[in-house]
Structure 1
Amino acid sequence: MHTMWKGSISFGLVNIPIKMFTATENKDIRFRYLHKECHTPVKYKKYCETCGREIKEDEIIRGFEYEKGHFVIMNEEDFESAKAEVLDRAIDIIDFVNLSEIDPIYYDKSYYLSPQQTGGKAYNLLRKAMNDTGKIALAKITIRNKQSLAALRVYKNTLVLETIFYPDEVRAINNIPNLPENTDVNEKELDIAKQLIKQLTTEFKPENYKDDYREALQEIIENKIQGAETIKTAPKPTAHNVVDLMSALQASLKDKKKETKKKTKKVTAKKTKGAS
């Protein structure tokens, strides 16, 4: 696993040298854009419309557009000045809070943390203390010139750092159009909705979920590589032609009960077969 960041966890007067690794990976299938006529990969050039020519990398600077067509030019000294008061190589713990107090909307990316050679004892101490108290740490970290708020928590036998958005980065819900303001509901519909939720409630097992689109796309790609005909999957059954909310809820509940009965019959049949 590639080390993407080295630094330390600052915990009071304790300093824990650590390495950081990306905990998740994007499994999206990526494609190149090709010229339809000859299948040559398409390149994108940096072009200046005013000068009417392609420009080189060293001719490009950064600017902030504060009004349409008006920019404040930024140079490297400006960025270095902004970074001067930021701890580049420290995960600085600020507070300890309960995990339940942070809404999932704030979470961004996950990273595994492991101790460097001299940090094992202090790492284990912090991990055990956090695990026993059930608390997570709020900290600040700078990754690739961007300072982020982060949550530090115990995951299985390791410490995980989750970068989280600052409050002003989460859009206000009062900007969302067409939210129903009336909270009154039909009691019968509510009762059936609760029954449906109960029927669908299960233990969370991440291995039960997969990206169906990615798998189908990968199969098509493999078939094309092998020169085989692609397989067209059968369309999913269409939804019931329900005309109101109550009918939709009742139909969903009925379908779920049928599905549960089928699963029960299969399990019973397997047990009977095994016994014989």
Structure 2
Amino acid sequence: MSARAIWKGAISFGLVHVPVALYPASQDTGIDFDWLDKRSMDPVGYQRINKRTGKVIQSSDIVKGVKQDDGEYVLLSDEQIKAAYPAATQTIEIETFVKAMEIPFLLLEKPYYLEPLGKGERVYALLREAMFEAGVIGISRVVMHAREHLAALIPMGPGLVLNTIRWATEIRPVKDLKLPPEGRTAAGLKPTELQMATQLIGDMTTRWEAERFEDRFVNAVQALLDRKIEAGDTRTVAPLEEAPPTSTSNVVDLTELLARSLAQHKQTAPATRQARSGRASTTPKPAGSRRA
């Protein structure tokens, strides 16, 4: 891929490790507006300002601080943060597998592509195909940019996609909104209204094809730009001066590692099932296709 890998590590699958590189799977396609001073056509940039002195400071002079209740700050460097949780910064650890339909769309955040590194192609393919066969996605954790993310590991075509998931605490409760009550009777809906609405939805239902949809706002703005350029309505802006290696371990005996992982899981499964029995469970839904 032409993009640069933003993270390198390994997928932890039981005792098996799949060395991978992480690439952004999405890109911004909107119109990129620059800020300009309309009086002089000089570029207007973002600056880091010391709030007490009002002076611009360099990025190298900035440190991370966490404010305490008494007003004092605890300072942490990037190296200290990484050392505090070293294993997680190098591993995408799969904690459990779930049906894809059990993850609400509200929680999905940002997708990334995973590419196998070194001699990890076979184990990569094994994990991908096994997930397809089981109709599941993996729920994992990954640390990027000094922050831990919950993520869904999704088999998609020939690859694996890592889609970060928002934490439950990041979702605002819906109870604060004034919404109509659930249920057709409680909402005061007439049977004929519901029937016609259902029929209309059925008539409008098609197969999902992402290519059918485009950003019409961007197209309209780009057309406006083209008309201005053609009319010579442009201004000149004077240019300004532009102010971790990870070891990839080879898998010696994949069958042995899988057998050991299964044996290890059987030892911990009774306690895990007992802990989960007290939680509300969601009825699994049919797995999607390979193009999920």
Q: 2:273 — aligned with what?
A: none
Q: Is 1:219 paired with 2:220?
A: no
Supply the AA of the counterpart residue of 1:195.
Q
The TM-score, its normalising length taken from structure 2, stands at 0.71
Deviation, structure 1 residue 47: 3.3
Deviates more, 1:3-12 or 1:53-62: 53-62
Instruction: Give the direction of change, closer, same or farther, for the CA distance of 1:47–1:228 in structure 2 (3 Å limit).
Output: closer
Q: Which runs of 5+ in 2 are unaligned?
A: 234-292
| CA deviation string 1:64-112 (max 9, x = no partner) | 4567x94634232895277335511111110011001111111111111
Q: 1:113 — aligned with what?
A: 114
Deviation, structure 1 residue 218: 1.2
Instruction: Give the direction of change, closer, same or farther, for the CA distance of 1:49–1:113 in structure 2 (3 Å limit).
Output: closer
Q: Is 1:63–1:71's contact at 8 Å kept on the other side of the alignment?
A: no
C-alpha distance in 2, partners of 1:159/1:52? Answer: 47
Q: 1:180 — aligned with what?
A: 180
Q: Is 1:24 paired with 2:26?
A: yes
Q: 1:261 — aligned with what?
A: none
C-alpha distance in 2, partners of 1:221/1:43? Answer: 22
C-alpha distance in 1, partners of 2:194/2:216? Answer: 32
Q: Is 2:11–2:20's contact at 8 Å kept on the other side of the alignment?
A: yes
Aligned length: 227
Give matches, 1:122-137, under 5 Å.
122-137=123-138
Q: Who wins on radius of gyration, i.e. which is larger?
A: 1
Q: Is 1:61–1:75's contact at 8 Å kept on the other side of the alignment?
A: yes
C-alpha distance in 2, partners of 1:198/1:220? Answer: 37
Q: Which runs of 5+ in 1 are unaligned?
A: 230-276
Q: 1:42 — aligned with what?
A: 44
Give matches, 1:99-248, under 5 Å.
99-175=100-176, 177-181=177-181, 182-227=186-231
Bigger RCO (CA 8 Å, 6+ sep): 2
Q: Is 1:86–1:142's contact at 8 Å kept on the other side of the alignment?
A: no
C-alpha distance in 2, partners of 1:4/1:62? Answer: 21
The TM-score, its normalising length taken from structure 1, stands at 0.74
| CA deviation string 1:143-188 (max 9, x = no partner) | 111111111111111111111011111111112x221234331222
Q: Is 1:151–1:161's contact at 8 Å kept on the other side of the alignment?
A: yes
Residue identity (%): 31
Supply the AA of the counterpart residue of 2:16.
V
Q: 1:250 — aligned with what?
A: none
| CA deviation string 1:183-238 (max 9, x = no partner) | 33122221211121111111111111111000111122223233368xxxxxxxxx
Deviates more, 1:39-48 or 1:131-140: 39-48
Instruction: Give the direction of change, closer, same or farther, for the CA distance of 1:49–1:122 in structure 2 (3 Å limit).
Output: closer
Instruction: Give the direction of change, closer, same or farther, for the CA distance of 1:50–1:129 in structure 2 (3 Å limit).
Output: closer
| CA deviation string 1:28-76 (max 9, x = no partner) | 1111110111211013443335335444444433334567x94634232
RMSD: 2.4
Supply the AA of the counterpart residue of 2:127.
L
